[in-house]
Chains A and B, each alone.
Chain A
């Protein structure tokens, strides 16, 4: 992001030299990095919505390659629509979509405006924090598939929000938590107001005056909904944990609230003893606050991972009586014949009947090269057809597929996942025992001294030692660390992550898509003929590759359109040819291009030869590039004393090359999902705590079995849902920062616990001796809780790490520029 001249105006990625994609936005020509961005920006401008570029605060996501227009046709089928389209008033329908690529509030504006301009759209409402859109439309005027196509045209990736049920659950949970928080907050203010009046003299005199009794009754009235409504989740959780024969932090919390409320109620009704309503209300409020913040962070992560990359298509093109019909994938059965066009995802395991094509199985096996398939070869659900059309016969569908087998592996791995018992919960068990014992002992001792005071003294023991600070110690620190991580670009989904990270001894990386961008780039060009420039080679190759879906074609897309090729022909497995400016060019394997074998040049990557009728012109090396942040991140991790390892399903020498480049000494190539899992188990067996960073389906078993796991934002949905955290911006340097933050978080949790226990150690004997009046108990409790919360807040400002890149605090999205 140095200057507008060299970075794409739409997505912020660098514009490769020689690329000539521009769009005029608000009167100024802006350069674009690829035809995708150009098309999206063009669509935005032609819709009159170029104000979007002025409103937005972050660069947009780079759009996918343009997809065939009928890609979304499946969503017009009634069976498929059932899952995300519902009836609305007067004949209208409402579609629930999940839209990824929303980076800021301006995106919401753009989507609502753009869709709103279309005929037949009645209402659009987009929620940026959940990335969900509700679109009301008239089914007689516009089809759902057009909604999808329009969203894609302006650069977003739509998917049906079929996980809508879970979303409803999350929403109602969130609202319930807010209502409880509101009741507890307002109740606390009121009760506090009465309590302060009582502290400062309303309770003058020896007995209990008229005003005091009045104030007590009012406090009781206000505190009752706080206890019975706002604090109910604690009681429920405590009951659950007791039934499971396990003492969690909820038990002392409920005990304190319940007993204090019971005793205060008794004191109010019979006009004796002390009341603790203000302590109860404040305690409930603080705790709810901590838990609500934690819950919001968790929900956010859950929503972000909803169905980004769907593994299986929703429909398949099945041959029926000689015709192709689109049917839902769920209706596929073994024996069906299915047509796969280039770019289609294989819907079920099968066998090729006709055709020859390269199939991308990288999600399943990690192997980056296309697998050549011909009649008789097996294909697996979830892999993507590369360059030409195939007809396959389904051999296994649904649960019987290889993909489902991996999912089952995941479930098993998850069962074996080492369970973490939160430090606070371990302390809680001991704490409850000590407090209960002290309360009983106080009662017994005071029964001997002054039977009248015995009950009140033992109650004040319970309230003073009220585990407020103790139970806030961990959630407050976790909540503020979670928020801080979110700002850094790591979305934490599992609460145990921060507990586990400081204990990690080994980090395992996947290769494709994790350490690398998962996208081929031009590594080198070797010219073989005079008079040709590298730029000319790129332009010719880009023109030849312009029509294919082959993954390697992506390497050339920046220069697409500089030249135009005609009569393009794909020769599966060997290369392609086409006419440019009257000459015939070929790009591909050497024997295909020149008709004779040529030895590959020295050097890394996959070599393609460009040639014409007169012979070879240039070698082009393609390969995956490391993320810009990879080397620095690995260095920092090693500096932190962790061992770093690369696990890849890829067979090629690429693994070694990239490992070297990233500074990783230990690497493993050609590892199947089972191998990866058993390797990790072996490491765990040797006593290492393992952090796995990955993105593919083949990593999922390891992600679910590892002590801690991070999935990339571009990862397969399944991978994201099984990981403890999602790396939003692809900046691997966030990982060492997160680990440092986790160290800091652990330190603060310990400080908090020490403070809370220390406070209790002083307060308990005093209460035991009957020296603590209710007001002192309330102040002591509030003060100790405040200390704990303020201490935890230090984490949210913490620059985890010694120095910090200013770009991170500014935009929160670094690392995109690699």
Chain B
């Protein structure tokens, strides 16, 4: 049980880091636009390979 005396402070310090990291992310605009960024990766530039028909089917 004595280990708690230093394990808990370590946990608290880690949480402190987590908060700091979160603050950094928020202030850096990471949460400003939650919709676009996640999809950006799907719009790759090597789209020429895809067949046009697939689009038509998606439209229905």
By a beta-carbon cutoff of 8 Å, the part of chain A in contact with chain B is 4, 25-28, 51, 53-55, 105-106, 108-109, 126-130, 171, 174-175, 178-179, 182-183, 186-187, 190, 194, 211, 214, 218, 221-222
The answer to whether A54 touches B55 (Cβ under 8 A) is yes
Tell me, in angstroms, the Cα distance from A27 to B51 when the chains sit together: 10
* Tally of B interface residues using CB under 8 Å: 32
Nearest A residue to B47, CB-CB: A51
Q: Which residues of B contact A218 (CB under 8 A)?
A: 8-9, 12
By a beta-carbon cutoff of 8 Å, the part of chain B in contact with chain A is 1, 4-5, 8-9, 11-12, 15, 18-19, 22-23, 26-27, 31-36, 39-40, 42-43, 47, 50, 52, 54-56, 58-59
Nearest B residue to A296, CB-CB: B34
A128-B35, A175-B27 known; A222+B15 contact, CB < 8 A: yes
Q: Which residues of A contact B33 (CB under 8 A)?
A: 127-130
A54-B47, A54-B55 known; A179+B26 contact, CB < 8 A: yes
Q: Would you mind naming 15 contact pairs between A and B with Cβ atoms under 8 Å apart?
A: A28-B52, A51-B47, A55-B43, A105-B43, A109-B43, A127-B32, A128-B36, A171-B32, A174-B32, A175-B32, A178-B26, A179-B22, A182-B22, A186-B19, A221-B12
The answer to whether B31 touches A4 (Cβ under 8 A) is no
Nearest B residue to A28, CB-CB: B52
Tell me, in angstroms, the Cα distance from A25 to B59 when the chains sit together: 14
7 extra interface residue pairs, beta carbon distance < 8 Å, beyond A55-B42, A126-B36: A51-B43, A54-B55, A127-B36, A130-B32, A190-B15, A221-B12, A222-B15
Q: Determine which of A53, A126, A175 lies in contact with B31 in the assembled complex, contact meaning CB atoms within 8 Å.
A: A175
Q: Determine which of B4, B22, B55 lies in contact with A53 in the assembled complex, contact meaning CB atoms within 8 Å.
A: B55
A183-B19, A190-B11, A221-B12 known; A26+B43 contact, CB < 8 A: no
The answer to whether A182 touches B23 (Cβ under 8 A) is yes
Which 3 residue pairs across A and B have the least CB separation, nearest first? A26-B52, A51-B47, A105-B39
Q: Which residues of A contact B56 (CB under 8 A)?
A: 4, 28
Rounded to whole Å, the gap between the CB of A743 and the closest CB of chain B is: 30
The answer to whether B15 touches A105 (Cβ under 8 A) is no
Tell me, in angstroms, the Cα distance from A108 to B27 when the chains sit together: 22
Rounded to whole Å, the gap between the CB of A566 and the closest CB of chain B is: 38
Q: Determine which of A53, A105, A130 lies in contact with B40 in the assembled complex, contact meaning CB atoms within 8 Å.
A: A105
Q: Which residues of B contact A55 (CB under 8 A)?
A: 42-43
Nearest B residue to A221, CB-CB: B12
Which of B9, B12, B32 gathers the greatest number of chain A CB atoms within 10 Å?
Answer: B32
Tell me, in angstroms, the Cα distance from A129 to B32 when the chains sit together: 8
Rounded to whole Å, the gap between the CB of B33 and the closest CB of chain A is: 5
The answer to whether B35 touches A211 (Cβ under 8 A) is no
Q: Which residues of B contact A105 (CB under 8 A)?
A: 35-36, 39-40, 43
The answer to whether A26 touches B15 (Cβ under 8 A) is no
Tell me, in angstroms, the Cα distance from A182 to B19 when the chains sit together: 7
Tell me, in angstroms, the Cα distance from A90 to B15 when the chains sit together: 40
Nearest A residue to B27, CB-CB: A175
Nearest A residue to B5, CB-CB: A214
The answer to whether A178 touches B31 (Cβ under 8 A) is yes
Q: Determine which of B11, B34, B36 lies in contact with A108 in the assembled complex, contact meaning CB atoms within 8 Å.
A: B36
Rounded to whole Å, the gap between the CB of B31 and the closest CB of chain A is: 6
The answer to whether A129 touches B43 (Cβ under 8 A) is no
Q: Determine which of B5, B22, B35, B40 lies in contact with A129 in the assembled complex, contact meaning CB atoms within 8 Å.
A: B35
Tell me, in angstroms, the Cα distance from A130 to B52 when the chains sit together: 31
Tell me, in angstroms, the Cα distance from A25 to B56 when the chains sit together: 11
Tell me, in angstroms, the Cα distance from A150 to B4 when the chains sit together: 64
The answer to whether B23 touches A179 (Cβ under 8 A) is yes
Nearest A residue to B46, CB-CB: A51
